[in-house]
């Protein structure tokens, strides 16, 4: 990482964002083992979904309105569901062995993301 002059960004303070970054790293390593025939199909789709999770959390945290923040967190949750589905497909196709660590981390990100959404909704009275 490069050196920055500024303090941490709002999203960098969120544990759910840090966990989502860890998940990106795990899934990149897992998908690197997929067959070459999946490079432009499942591998690409999986990586787009996984990158979308922390990216949407970050973009939402940078927004100035709660409705925008909630919208981006909702998109992150949707991408996480997509990622979860694609990991299950990869496992069923035997592209990877069982992935208890990735499943556990995915579950943890889901739980933290849902808690953050509930917290923001409670503050805004939604």
pLDDT tens digit sequence for 80-97: 999 999 999 999 999 987
Quick: pLDDT tens for 12-58.
999 999 999 999 999 999 999 999 999 889 999 999 999 999 999 99
The shares of helix, strand and coil residues in the chain, as percent rounded to the nearest 5, are 75, 0, 25
Q: Reduce the DSSP state of residue 90 to 3 states and report it.
A: helix
Stretch 62-69: mean pLDDT: 93
B/e letters for 89-110, b = 16+ CB within 10 Å, e = fewer, are ebbeeebbeebeebeebbebbe
Contacts of 55 (CB under 8 A, 6+ apart): 76
| 8 or 38, which is more confident | 38
Residue 4 has pLDDT above 70, yes or no: no
In the predicted structure, residue 73 carries a pLDDT above the cut 70: yes
Q: Residue 96's pLDDT is what?
A: 84
Mean pLDDT across the stretch 107-121? 96
Phi, psi of 8 (to 5 degrees): -55, 145
* Rounded-to-integer distance, Cα 76 and Cα 126, Å: 19
pLDDT for 6 equals: 72
The full set of domains in the chain, from first to last, is: 11-124 (1.20.1440.60)
Q: Which of 85, 91, 84 is nearest to 111 (CA)?
A: 84
* CA pair distance 125, 75, nearest whole angstrom: 20
Confidence band of 103 (pLDDT split at 50, 70, 90): confident
Q: Which pLDDT score, from 0 to 100, does residue 1 have?
A: 52
């Amino acid at each position: 990482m490069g050196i920055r002059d500024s303090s941490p960004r709002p999203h960098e303070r969120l544990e759910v964002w840090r966990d989502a970054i860890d998940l990106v790293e795990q899934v990149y390593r897992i998908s690197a083992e997929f067959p070459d025939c999946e490079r432009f199909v499942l591998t690409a789709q999986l990586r787009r979904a996984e990158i979308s999770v922390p990216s949407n959390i970050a973009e939402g945290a940078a927004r100035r309105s709660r409705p925008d923040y909630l919208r981006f967190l909702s998109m992150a949750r949707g991408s996480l569901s997509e990622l979860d589905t694609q990991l299950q497909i990869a496992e069923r196709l035997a592209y990877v062995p069982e992935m208890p660590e990735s499943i556990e981390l995915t579950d943890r990100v889901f739980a933290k993301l849902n808690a953050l959404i509930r917290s923001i909704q409670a503050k805004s009275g939604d």
